[in-house]
Amino acid sequence: MSQTPLLDLSGLRKAYPGVVANDDVTFAIQPGEVHALLGENGAGKSTLVKMIYGLVRPDAGTMMLNGTPFAPPEPRAARAAGVAMVFQHFSLFEALSVAENVALGMENPPKPSALAARITEVSNTYGLPLDPNRRVGDLSAGERQRVEIIRCLLQDPRLLIMDEPTSVLTPQEVDILFATLRKLRAEGTAILYISHKLEEIRSLCDAATILRLGKVVARCNPREKTASELAELMVGTSLKPPKSGGAAPGDIILKAQDLSMPSASAFGTPLRNISFELRRGEVLGIGGVAGNGQDELLMALSGERKLPQGSLYFEGEDIGTRPADMRRRIGVLSAPEERLGHAAAPNMSLTENAALTAARRQGMLSRGFVNWGAAKGFAEKVIGAFDVRTPGPGVAARALSGGNLQKFVIGREVMQAPEVLIVNQPTWGVDAAAAAFIRQSMLDLAAKGTGVVVISQDLDELMEISDRFAALNEGRLSAEVPTGDLTMEKIGLMLGGAQTTAMEQA
Amino acid sequence: MDLSSINWLLLLASLMVAATPILLAAIGELVVEKAGVLNLGVEGMMIMGAVCGFIIAVETGSAPLGFVAAAAGGALLSMLFGVLTQFLMSNQVATGLALTLFGLGLSALMGQGYIGIKAPGIGKLDLGPLSDLPVLGTILFRHDAMVYVSIAIVIAVWAFLKFTRGGLILRAVGESHDAAHALGYNVIRVRLMAIAFGGGCAGLGGAYLSLVRVPSWTEGMTAGAGWIALAIVVFASWKAGRIIVGAYLFGGITVLQLNLQAAGAKIPVEVLSMSPYLITIIVLVVISADRKRAAHNAPADLGKSFHASH
């Protein structure tokens, strides 16, 4: 390798109060190389790319782009130098059109009509068809990502940074994306690819740098390693896959029948004629690409939104019209996706948060008064059993890291010995060790006879823990299929809404 | 009641005059809200504009200078709101309400020596043959310059938001400050400029009351016009063109109730004078009844504090 690297990082360091996000990070990206950046949540991947993109300034270290010093004070400068970035979240404007969104990411956008023509041209060249006049709020997750990619491509980047681009895509959409990325690589564009999906990295990337706790712990060619070797490099220890108790499913405990619910917001998804049966001791996995009705389904099952009569039964009893509190009383518990603000009140202590959902079932109430001693005891029990790292139950929920808070909100429901537990994205943004723990706790719960519904976008997770699988697409639920019979391809078809054909082939 | 005693021509003509203060304040607030900031202090900024404009106009004898001072006064007061909400992260609703109370009090203090004085006139704009047109001339073309300035501001705002890059960035900041920040736009700077523009427009609207409409200074003379302006922004579903419709509708109701009083309508005067506010509430209820539609047009990050976290 005698050529100058496209981007050369050496000794980068960035510290925030209390944590060192990056410490002495050194690696190089060659032109036309797909370089993977691997690491757990909190390993410092985001901080590192923010430094390259000019959103954060390093405390120490140097960056060289094409052999010249590179220190972008703001994203504008990075874009001007040929560095573009496709974000994981928060970079599109739902109420604006595709063309307006693209124009906002460019330094000197051409006139609207010329821009629309360019968007159509580039999107067709790279096999990502897109109508420039549509509102982004009406697009699917995959189409939204195309908007971001095209916004980057219009500026002829030399380095494209992609932050977990496949987390919102169906397997078929992933294939299209990879074809586009390979085409870009062939044209000489370098790609810095951040992901924790190891199989993807093995199939796509030429080189990998692995971060742990802000430091580079390994560099390798991902094609020469197995996925489990890569995982061990990331985590630092080997992980045990969760084990199911193997109990035979019992009687039907929860049954949804033609459940429909209008959406509460303009960009939400209405639920359409959802039917399923959940048995005791069974884990039902519900997959789907983000924004296909997952949040709405959780609200419908948990009781946050009321349902028409005759659409939801618990042990043969119609509970659709009962509010969340009444459902909790009979043992139908739930944990929503959003940890801060939905599952837990950020500024309230863990004790208070424990009392919020567990007060009635754990006997913390007497004549309208809360027994705070009992609430504290319960919070301590959850903290102990779920290994929540916190100084104590008096700490505010927002002070906990994502993984620890997630263990707490899941543990809070699991420790109440529910009859039915409904969780949405139980391990989203949680490190691998905590995720494995949470998955195991749900399997243990099922082994004791609880019916568990897991709504998740992580297909690997669903394949690992669920007994049966159903896909959510535009608010419709496919028929449930035993997980053992499924291949990734079949799941992809189900996620895309082709459940009837998938069933016929099954 | 003798409806024939109402001169409908003059009523329509005075409608434009009555609507100008709320039109100015509403178009300013529209820009502020498009940038994602909810400033409930419109009433306070209007009355500050009214008193600043009046004092300077009286002291210099020039109404145009008064208007300039009014815009500056309103913008200055809005910057207090800007610093509190954008840098110190205070709650926008509470700060806006406080701004109204503060503006009412401060303006009363500043205007103590100016009660009972008449403001220097601004004079009608001579539009030549246009003014002499029958009917239309009376209604449309015999007003003072500020009436036309207010319409020009609305058109300019509409064109700015729709056609310019600056307008696109402003809307983007109001839709998602996180996304705008990630793309490298300075959210706080954009919002401060929008807040200052809103303050300036509210100040102009206030000065139109104290220099043209009344024209003298009394404490609390805006009498709720700022709240109507806030309502009009929602009524117009954050579209500049509909601000004109809304403002003239409410201006019309104000003028009509005055005329009905004069004509001896058999409705209690109190009911008539509360009618613009009553109708404001009814319109807001009707519009927000369709929650999906109302939410569709509102800037997604309206009223949310932005804090760059990295």
Report pLDDT digits (tens) over A441-451.
Answer: 999 999 999 99
pTM summary value = 0.74
* A16 is a domain residue: yes
The residue with tokens 């099952």 is A301
* B310 is a domain residue: no
Q: Are residues A324 and A179 in the same domain?
A: no
So what's the pLDDT on residue A99? Answer: 92
So what's the pLDDT on residue A245? Answer: 62
Q: Are residues A216 and A278 in the same domain?
A: no
So what's the pLDDT on residue A200? Answer: 84
Name the minimum distance, in Å, from the CA of B165 to any CA of chain A. 8
Q: Measure CB to CB from residue A75 to each of B183, B293, B295 and give the nearest one.
A: B183
Q: Are residues A220 and A268 in the same domain?
A: no
Are residues B176 and A104, on separate chains, in Cβ contact within 8 Å? no
Q: Does residue A506 carry a pLDDT above 80?
A: no
Q: Measure CB to CB from residue B184 to each of A75, A87, A100 and give the nearest one.
A: A75
So what's the pLDDT on residue A340? Answer: 81
- d(CA A236, CA A239) in angstroms, rounded, equals 9
So what's the pLDDT on residue B310? Answer: 43
Q: Does residue A221 carry a pLDDT above 50?
A: yes
Work out how many domains chain A is built from and give that number.
Answer: 2
So what's the pLDDT on residue A505? Answer: 43
Q: Is the CB of residue B299 less than 8 Å away from at least one CB of chain A?
A: yes
* B254 is a domain residue: yes
Name the minimum distance, in Å, from the CA of B250 to any CA of chain A. 29
Q: Which whole number is the average pLDDT over A386-406?
A: 84
Q: Are residues A135 and A56 in the same domain?
A: yes
Q: Is the CB of residue A155 less than 8 Å away from at least one CB of chain B?
A: no
Q: Does residue A1 carry a pLDDT above 50?
A: no
Q: Are A307 and A298 in contact (CB under 8 A)?
A: no
Name the minimum distance, in Å, from the CA of A128 to any CA of chain B. 22
Q: Does residue A503 carry a pLDDT above 70?
A: no
Q: Does residue B8 carry a pLDDT above 80?
A: no
* B135 is a domain residue: yes
Q: Which whole number is the average pLDDT over B100-112?
A: 95
**Other residues' Cβ atoms within 10 Å of the Cβ of residue B102:** 17
Q: Does residue A500 carry a pLDDT above 50?
A: no
No. of helices (H) and no. of strands (E), chain A: 17, 23
* B308 is a domain residue: no
Cβ-based contacts of A75 with chain B (< 8 Å): 182-184
Q: Measure CB to CB from residue A91 to each of B171, B182, B310 and give the nearest one.
A: B182
* A498 is a domain residue: yes
Q: Which of A183, A203, A235 is the last residue of a domain?
A: A235
Cβ-based contacts of A54 with chain B (< 8 Å): 184
* B305 is a domain residue: no
Q: Is the CB of residue B295 less than 8 Å away from at least one CB of chain A?
A: yes
Q: Does residue A2 carry a pLDDT above 70?
A: no
List the domain range (segments joined by +) for residue A34: 7-235
Q: Which whole number is the average pLDDT over A330-341?
A: 88
pLDDT tens per residue, range B261-292: 888 778 887 887 788 778 777 877 776 676 65
Least reliable range by pLDDT among A248-252, B2-6, B153-157, B213-217: B2-6
So what's the pLDDT on residue A232? Answer: 80
Q: Are residues A154 and A217 in the same domain?
A: yes
Are residues A94 and B175, on separate chains, in Cβ contact within 8 Å? yes
* A245 is a domain residue: no
Q: Are residues A310 and A203 in the same domain?
A: no
Q: Which whole number is the average pLDDT over A22-40?
A: 89
How does residue B296 score in pLDDT terms, banded at 50, 70 and 90? low
Nearest to B214 by CA among B289, B118, B82: B118
Q: Which of A179, A204, A235 is the last residue of a domain?
A: A235
Point out which residues pair with B122 in neighbouring strands: none
Average pLDDT, chain A: 86
* B87 is a domain residue: yes
Q: Is the CB of residue B239 less than 8 Å away from at least one CB of chain A?
A: no
How does residue A381 score in pLDDT terms, banded at 50, 70 and 90? very high
Q: Are residues A364 and A489 in the same domain?
A: yes
Q: Is the CB of residue B276 less than 8 Å away from at least one CB of chain A?
A: no
Are residues B176 and A87, on separate chains, in Cβ contact within 8 Å? no
- d(CA A316, CA A419) in angstroms, rounded, equals 14
Q: Are residues A422 and A485 in the same domain?
A: yes
Measured torsion, CA atoms of residues B235, B237, B242, B243, in degrees rounded to the nearest 10: 60
Q: Which whole number is the average pLDDT over A276-290?
A: 90
* A329 is a domain residue: yes
Average pLDDT, chain B: 88
How does residue A502 score in pLDDT terms, banded at 50, 70 and 90? very low
* B63 is a domain residue: yes
Q: Does residue B2 carry a pLDDT above 70?
A: no
Are residues A55 and B310, on separate chains, in Cβ contact within 8 Å? yes
Cβ-based contacts of A79 with chain B (< 8 Å): 184
Q: Are residues A60 and A119 in the same domain?
A: yes
Work out how many domains chain B is built from and give that number.
Answer: 1
Chosen from A90, A135, A151, A152 to mutate, greatest number of chain B CBs within 10 A: A90
Q: Which whole number is the average pLDDT over A397-407?
A: 83
List the domain range (segments joined by +) for residue B278: 3-297
How does residue A241 score in pLDDT terms, banded at 50, 70 and 90? low
Are residues B182 and A90, on separate chains, in Cβ contact within 8 Å? yes
* B272 is a domain residue: yes
How does residue A172 score in pLDDT terms, banded at 50, 70 and 90? confident
- d(CA B276, CA B284) in angstroms, rounded, equals 12
Q: Measure CB to CB from residue B184 to each of A56, A76, A93 and give the nearest one.
A: A76
Q: Is the CB of residue B309 less than 8 Å away from at least one CB of chain A?
A: no
How does residue B5 score in pLDDT terms, banded at 50, 70 and 90? low
CA-based diameter of chain B, in Å? 69
How does residue A504 score in pLDDT terms, banded at 50, 70 and 90? very low
Name the minimum distance, in Å, from the CA of A33 to any CA of chain B. 25
The CATH number that applies at residue A306 is 3.40.50.300
Q: What value of ipTM does the predicted structure carry?
A: 0.80
So what's the pLDDT on residue B276? Answer: 76
SS3 A443: helix
Q: Which of A200, A235, A270 is the last residue of a domain?
A: A235
Are residues B168 and A100, on separate chains, in Cβ contact within 8 Å? yes
* A243 is a domain residue: no
pLDDT tens per residue, range A100-149: 999 988 877 888 889 999 999 988 888 888 889 998 888 877 788 888 88
Q: Does residue B209 carry a pLDDT above 80?
A: yes
Produce one character per residue of B28-38: b if its CB has 16 or more CB atoms within 10 Å, e if not.
Answer: bbbbbbbbbbb
Cβ-based contacts of A109 with chain B (< 8 Å): 165
Q: Are residues A272 and A377 in the same domain?
A: yes
So what's the pLDDT on residue B1? Answer: 53
SS3 B79: helix
